[in-house]
């Protein structure tokens, strides 16, 4: 024991005197300070969401709610028909995830593992649409859906995802499918498996992490989406959560604590999903940047 302690202390001294330690200390200190700064807006949000109207307008501001006004949450959730909006969001988010998984995984499989004429050219054309500003298609697409009578329904919010318009997910899945060993489907093919069987029984089960990433990202995208519901949904009983919160901003700007409670409720599901799937999140981002 004593010998070990002795060793560590020598090690510590060596490390302390080694070049770069001060640099590392400085980096650690900066990380702590910046963490506080990055968290500050969220702390300000949480603190404001739990304050009585009287306390929120005290100057200089106080950080600890006194008393904790937990009733802001039920108040906010009943002032706006939150549970209705939540249900509406679910009606958009769930079909969006399913449609994205369906259309993007099929296309990605064809681009990654099948050989067919003009495959790479078509893929390049699809990828090019990633650079397209969304407003350029927004107006004509709106006029088309409007002409078909689908304004104020969820059809314009959902159908594009069944048609693989978020090419980024095709790209992501293609990257993943390409990395799977070819021997797997060759062996299955020799055993007489059909393309559809190879896709369903071999490629998809092996790609669960990538499919999960796509499901999470597309689900969060639909949950956070503000512009499309704003353009397509008119009746307030059809608002999604994001759109509903934006209406709340206009109507209750003086009731900051209720507004902050409502914003917190919109953020919490996202944070929960993030914490459980953080690893996949980070991997998917690095995949976009470096490979391909």
Partner 1 sequence: MTNSSSPDGVMLTERPSGRSATTGARARMSPRRRSEITWALTFVAPAVLGFVLLKAMPILFSLYIAMTDWSAVGNAHWVGLDNFEKMLFADPLFWRSLEVTAYYTLVSVPASMAFAFFLATLLNQRIPGLGIFRTIFYIPSIVPIIASTVIWLWMFNPDFGLFNSVLGAFGIPKMQYIFSEEQVVPSLVFMSIWGVGPMMIIFLAGLQEVPKELYEAADIDGSNAWHKLVHITLPMMTPTILFNLMISMVAAFQTFVQPFIMTNGGPNNGSLFFVFWIYRKAFQDSQMGYASALAWALFIIISVLSYLIFRTSNRWVFYRGGDN
Site for partner 1 in 233-272 (CB under 8 A): 242, 245-246, 249, 256, 259-260, 263, 266-267, 270-271
Measured CA distances, 118 to 170, 182, 196 (Å): 17, 21, 21
Q: Does 278 bind partner 1 (CB under 8 A)?
A: yes
Select 1 or 20, whichever has its Cβ closest to partner 1.
20
CB 19: neighbour CB atoms within 10 A? 6
Q: Does 24 bind partner 1 (CB under 8 A)?
A: yes
Distance, CA of 178 to CA of 185 (rounded, Å): 12
The footprint of partner 1 on residues 103-142 (CB under 8 A) is 103-104, 106-107, 109-111, 113-117, 119, 122, 125-126, 129, 131-142
Question: Residues 239, 85: contact at Cβ < 8 Å?
Answer: yes
Pick the binder of partner 1 from 151, 193, 202, 206 (CB under 8 A).
193
Q: Which residues contact 82 (CB under 8 A, 6 or more apart)?
A: 76, 241, 244, 262, 265
The footprint of partner 1 on residues 25-64 (CB under 8 A) is 27-28, 30-31, 34-35, 38-42, 44-45, 48, 56-57, 59-61
Measured CA distances, 108 to 30, 100, 205, 253, 269 (Å): 42, 11, 15, 46, 29
Instruction: Give min distance, CB of 141 to partner 1, in A.
Output: 5
Select 2 or 149, whichever has its Cβ closest to partner 1.
149
Q: Does 188 bind partner 1 (CB under 8 A)?
A: yes
Question: Residues 185, 203: contact at Cβ < 8 Å?
Answer: yes
């Amino acid at each position: 024991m004593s010998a070990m302690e002795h060793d560590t202390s020598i090690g510590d001294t060596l490390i302390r005197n080694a070049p770069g330690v001060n640099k590392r200390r400085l980096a650690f200190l900066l990380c702590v300070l910046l963490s506080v700064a990055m968290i500050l807006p969220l702390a300000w949000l949480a603190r404001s969401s739990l304050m009585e109207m009287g306390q929120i307008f005290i100057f200089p501001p106080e950080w600890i709610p006194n008393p904790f006004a937990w009733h802001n949450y039920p108040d906010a959730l009943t002032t706006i028909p939150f549970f209705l909006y939540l249900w509406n969001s679910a009606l958009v988010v769930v079909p969006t995830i399913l449609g994205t998984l369906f259309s993007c995984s099929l296309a990605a499989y064809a681009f990654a593992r099948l050989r067919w004429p003009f495959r790479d050219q078509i893929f390049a054309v699809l990828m090019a649409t990633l650079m397209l500003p969304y407003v350029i298609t927004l107006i004509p697409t709106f006029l088309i859906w409007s002409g078909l009578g689908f304004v104020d329904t969820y059809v314009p919010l959902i159908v594009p995802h069944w048609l693989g318009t978020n090419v980024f997910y095709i790209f992501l899945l293609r990257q993943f499918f390409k990395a799977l060993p070819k021997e797997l489907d060759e062996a299955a093919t020799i055993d007489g498996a059909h393309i559809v069987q190879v896709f369903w029984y071999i490629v998809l089960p092996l790609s669960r992490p990538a499919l999960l990433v796509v499901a999470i990202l597309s689900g969060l995208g639909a949950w956070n989406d503000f512009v499309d519901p704003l353009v397509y949904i008119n009746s307030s009983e059809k608002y999604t959560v994001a759109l509903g919160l934006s209406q709340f901003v206009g109507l209750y700007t003086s009731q900051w604590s209720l507004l902050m409670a409502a914003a917190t409720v919109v953020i919490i599901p996202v944070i929960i999903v993030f914490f459980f799937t953080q690893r996949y999140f980070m991997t998917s981002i690095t995949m976009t940047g470096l490979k391909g």
